[in-house]
Amino acid sequence: MSAVRLRHAVVTGASRGIGAAIADALETEGFRVSRLARSGAATIRCDVAEADSVTTAFAEARARHGPIHVLINNAGQTVSAPFAKASLDSLRRMLDVNLVGAWQCTQAALPDMLDAGWGRIINVASTAGIAGYPYTAAYCASKHALVGLTRSLAKELARRHVTVNALCPGFTDTDMVGAAVTRLAAASGRSEADARMTLAAFNPQHRLIRPEEVASAAVWLCRADAEGMTGQTLSISGGEIPS
């Protein structure tokens, strides 16, 4: 049996979109995969913002597949509003899910990686973690914080053979972006097709990123020959944001 088939990957937010694509790609690569999500078929139930939920979910994942070697912190939420009207509760929710969730899941998985002397942590951030967008101050703040966490952990774990990187997709063809299209169309009075084109236009290739493109980058970072890649923010945005 190959070494990769002995490795266990946990993917949060794995019931759809980017998370599902990464989980599928890792399984194809030969990893044993635990899919965590708040809902969805074939997943371990987990709300990453709740400490007890994380503890229970990771214990179940270990019971199924053994020690954890790869963690994909993909679970996330977005909210949009003019800054003057944005609530403090919305900021706290963005931080709880997009930052604290990754923090808690990393603390849950890291001991196994340190024991094994090998690990991969990949935080799915966003181009919003590198640049800024209007009407998404809380989301951008949480994703910038996630990138900061990535860089700090990469330095801390550099000599422990555990790499930590962030994937920063641009607007991606997922349910989350679909909801943004609907909100944009309603707010502007335009059709959803026009609203979708507005988001696609951020990408110099004038298209939405496909979840499979993000998954391909994740799989590469999980390979043994990617050990030199750590502390990086990889922009997957058709050239919109240089990383």
Q: How many Å apart are CA 102 and CA 132, to the nearest integer?
A: 21
Q: How many Å apart are CA 51 and CA 48, to the nearest integer?
A: 7
Strand pairing partners for 37?
45
Of the residues 139, 147, 170, 232, which is catalytic? 139
- 139 belongs to the catalytic site: yes
Query: CA dist 220 to 217, 224, 230, 234, Å?
Result: 5, 9, 12, 12
Q: How many Å apart are CA 60 and CA 53, to the nearest integer?
A: 11
Side chain identity at 240, as an amino acid letter?
A: E
Which residue's entry shows tokens 């706290």? Answer: 92
CA angle 169, 171, 177 (to 5 degrees): 125
Give the contacts of 235 (CB within 8 A, at least 6 positions apart).
Answer: 127, 130, 168, 170, 241, 242, 243
Q: How many Å apart are CA 173 and CA 20, to the nearest integer?
A: 13
Q: How many Å apart are CA 156 and CA 162, to the nearest integer?
A: 9
Output the CA torsion sign for 212, 72, 100, 37: positive
State the catalytic residues: 139
